[in-house]
Structure 1
Amino acid sequence: MALKCAVELRLADIIHSHNGPIILHQIASGIDSPSPDILYLSRIMRSLVRKKIFSEHCPTDGGETIYELTHVSRWLLHDVELSLAPMVLMQNHPWVVAPWYYLSQCVKEGGIAFKKAHACDVWEFASQNPEFNKLVNDSMACTTKIVMMAILAEYKAGFDCIGSLVDVGGGTGGMISEIVRSHPQIRGIDFDLPHVIATAPLHEGVSHVGGNMFEAIPCADAIFMKFVLHDWDHEDCIKILRNCRKAILEKTGKLIIVDIVLEKDSHDLFDDTRMVFDLMMMAHSSGGKELTELEWKEFLKGGFPGYKITKIPAIPFIIEAYPM
């Protein structure tokens, strides 16, 4: 909540705008309020300094404490190319926090936590609520830019032989536009639900197609899915994979999945976050979960018997799946 407060008050932006360390009263003067409470602000800053979101320095001459950005707080800046501010706001919004309070009820009786909180699943809620839809789209777009850097660096050659690529669940087209920008030979198709596509901006080399992945997916040389399958239960995943298999034009085509692979004995930088993602699927998805490699193999074997997993310096992995 303190982190959410910092993003809402644009504390990182205020410090950044001064191009150097500033005192508490200078931070307060930049807040959009005629009378900010300095004591509350000091307590918020103290907590965030403790978490190394900001840094503080106390002058030896007894002057006022000064505050600076750290490498972490630079991810909280607004209106910059790479920012996690929209994700912080989305994950800590009351609509998104509410389902977490139903986890114990889900353990006792099953069911979908998001439905228990809002009487519909997350996709229905987004289609009926433009504000929530924007909240989700903005958060997905900001993380897409960050993950895309790792994908293009580690998997660049994987796109070289593709003529057409469908991004299933591609949101407003941020991911597929980055791929096409780096590989202009690709004809990109951004595929998502109609209410999502309705808000998508124009991207050069990318066409937007509205539809339902449970019914049909546009045909292409390859299919791309980032953080899609983990949202759904086993039966729904099989339906999606079958439609992916039908949509791949050639037997030499492939399915490119960007998603989490849980590893029991790994201890890299993102392991804790991957476990939290699994709990987040309990709270927000329609029966989804994060999978181990063995579970991925079981999912894929019906339509994509061949696969290769590539670990990248990011939360997700790249899973290439082949129909032959």
Structure 2
Amino acid sequence: MGDEVQAQAQAQAEAWRLSLAFADSLAVKSAIELGIPDLLQESDTPLSLPEIAMSLPSTSPDTTTLSRIMRFLVRKHVFTSQEIEDETRYGPTRTSGWLTKQVHRPSLAPFLLLETGVVSLKPWHYLSRCVLEGGEAFEKAHGVEIWGYGAKNREYSRLFNEAMACNAQIVLEALLRGYENGFEGLGSLVDVGGGTGMTIGEIVRANPHISGINFDLPHVVATAPHYPGVVHIGGDMFHAIPQADAVFMKWIMHDWGDEDCVKILKQCKRAIPEKTGKVIIVDAVVGGKEGVFGDATLAFDLVMIAHSSGGKERTAEEWGKLLKDGGFRRFNIISIPTIQSVIEAFPE
């Protein structure tokens, strides 16, 4: 009976955790908005509550509310606390280091602020309707799909672009560290959906033997800055992709359904040499990193339901079928230290 009572208590505790899971991300959001991760990261010593309060943009901050938020985030291992001379002092952790606004270090703060905003949260209330009716959660919530919404709402577009840029920086560092040999032997590389060219610019800078092509919609590349060794070309990946030794696509395929992905892959195959060419896809693989990023990958698949127009995260088996249908006979999955993996695909 004792074991049964304990098991029921644990089950109840888990149900409570699920009921209140939103508190984690929203409490972190409040800390980011207050600049606390940056403050603690930059301090040489742990800070007391009055010292944190003094840094806030208010002449009379509510320190009681602040202390309760900090207590919760210490419990969640976002910050540390220690008693020094009968005073609680707070410090950073490895986790809070990923939540700063500092532009000179990789951070997930812009992504968290995007996903916890009112606009982004509203579609999550429509997931059950998507099951019953089909359709897109974002459009059900806002009356327009996400790209159309961003085009008409400058602030949301800004948040979205900052979130994508922060992810690009994180992935790029992981890619150059974990896939450095993958660019050997390439004379040219086209980044499909490369935005304004930051990623291909950094790849070429690290691999100066490569001639880079940044390929995106004409209005996107029209604002792209100059990067040494990179040319910008406007176009539509569904119609044609510039010729190169290899095609690079980072966080592109997960935005599209299977039918559209096959169309993109067929254009990729036309763009590369049949014998020596390859496609380098940087995207998540569901079930591929269960020890570290497994929960995040599955959660990201739900993000795609909430925010994309038919996109999804895929298992290795799903990637294999997609690539085969697109004309790629073999592929490798290479782990890098982030939520995404590298998927190398070869036509031969």
TM exceeding 0.5: yes
- Equivalent-residue separation in structure 2 for 1:195 and 1:43 (angstroms): 47
Equivalent residue for 1:172, pick from 186, 189, 196: 196
Identity %: 51
CA contact (8 A) 1:141 1:174 kept: no
Query: Match of 2:114, as an amino acid?
Result: M
Query: Match of 1:237, as an amino acid?
Result: C
**Aligned partner of residue 267 in structure 1, secondary structure:** coil
- Equivalent-residue separation in structure 1 for 2:142 and 2:230 (angstroms): 34
Query: Match of 1:9, as an amino acid?
Result: L
The answer on 1:271 being equivalent to 2:288 is: no
Number of matched residues?
321
Equivalent residue for 1:280, pick from 293, 296, 303: 303
- Equivalent-residue separation in structure 2 for 1:10 and 1:195 (angstroms): 35
Equivalent residue for 2:170, pick from 141, 146, 149: 146
Judged with a 3 Å threshold, the aligned counterparts in structure 2 of structure 1 residues 25 and 271 are, in CA distance, closer, same or farther, namely same
- Equivalent-residue separation in structure 2 for 1:126 and 1:198 (angstroms): 19
Which residue in the other structure is 1:36 paired with? Answer: 61
The answer on 1:18 being equivalent to 2:76 is: no
| 1:123 CA drift (Å) | 2.2
The answer on 1:322 being equivalent to 2:334 is: no
Judged with a 3 Å threshold, the aligned counterparts in structure 2 of structure 1 residues 162 and 103 are, in CA distance, closer, same or farther, namely same
Query: Match of 2:38, as an amino acid?
Result: D
Q: What TM-score do the two structures reach when normalised by structure 2? A: 0.86
Greater CA drift, 7-16 or 117-126: 117-126
Deviation sequence 1:61-109 (CA, Å, 0-9, x none): 43x2111111111112222222222111112122221211110110110
Q: Of the two, which has the highest radius of gyration? A: 2
| 1:195 CA drift (Å) | 4.8
Query: Match of 1:275, as an amino acid?
Result: L
Which residue in the other structure is 1:83 paired with? Answer: 107
Equivalent residue for 1:313, pick from 310, 319, 337: 337
| 1:43 CA drift (Å) | 1.4
Judged with a 3 Å threshold, the aligned counterparts in structure 2 of structure 1 residues 195 and 32 are, in CA distance, closer, same or farther, namely farther
Equivalent residue for 1:236, pick from 249, 255, 260: 260
Query: Match of 2:178, as an amino acid?
Result: E
CA contact (8 A) 1:4 1:89 kept: yes
The answer on 1:124 being equivalent to 2:148 is: yes
- Equivalent-residue separation in structure 2 for 1:81 and 1:199 (angstroms): 25
Judged with a 3 Å threshold, the aligned counterparts in structure 2 of structure 1 residues 286 and 237 are, in CA distance, closer, same or farther, namely same
CA contact (8 A) 2:204 2:230 kept: yes
Query: Match of 1:247, as an amino acid?
Result: A
- Equivalent-residue separation in structure 1 for 2:331 and 2:323 (angstroms): 8
Unpaired runs of 5+ residues, structure 2, are 1-25
| 1:172 CA drift (Å) | 3.2
Greater CA drift, 164-173 or 234-243: 164-173
**Aligned partner of residue 224 in structure 1, secondary structure:** strand
**Aligned partner of residue 96 in structure 1, secondary structure:** helix
Equivalent residue for 1:301, pick from 301, 318, 324: 324
| 1:119 CA drift (Å) | 2.1
Q: What TM-score do the two structures reach when normalised by structure 1? A: 0.92
CA contact (8 A) 2:190 2:214 kept: yes
Query: Match of 1:278, as an amino acid?
Result: D
CA contact (8 A) 1:137 1:171 kept: no
CA contact (8 A) 1:55 1:69 kept: yes
Query: Match of 1:218, as an amino acid?
Result: P
CA contact (8 A) 1:127 1:133 kept: yes
Deviation sequence 1:227-254 (CA, Å, 0-9, x none): 2111111111111112212222554211
Deviation sequence 1:152-195 (CA, Å, 0-9, x none): 22221211111221111223323212211110111222223345
CA contact (8 A) 1:28 1:36 kept: yes
Query: Match of 1:178, as an amino acid?
Result: E
**Aligned partner of residue 65 in structure 1, secondary structure:** strand
| 1:57 CA drift (Å) | 1.0
Which residue in the other structure is 1:53 paired with? Answer: 78
CA contact (8 A) 2:281 2:343 kept: yes
- Equivalent-residue separation in structure 2 for 1:195 and 1:118 (angstroms): 25
Greater CA drift, 231-240 or 128-137: 128-137
- Equivalent-residue separation in structure 1 for 2:112 and 2:223 (angstroms): 21
Judged with a 3 Å threshold, the aligned counterparts in structure 2 of structure 1 residues 86 and 274 are, in CA distance, closer, same or farther, namely same
Equivalent residue for 2:52, pick from 18, 23, 27: 27
Greater CA drift, 106-115 or 38-47: 38-47
Which residue in the other structure is 1:292 paired with? Answer: 315
CA contact (8 A) 2:274 2:347 kept: no
| 1:196 CA drift (Å) | 4.0
Judged with a 3 Å threshold, the aligned counterparts in structure 2 of structure 1 residues 7 and 164 are, in CA distance, closer, same or farther, namely same
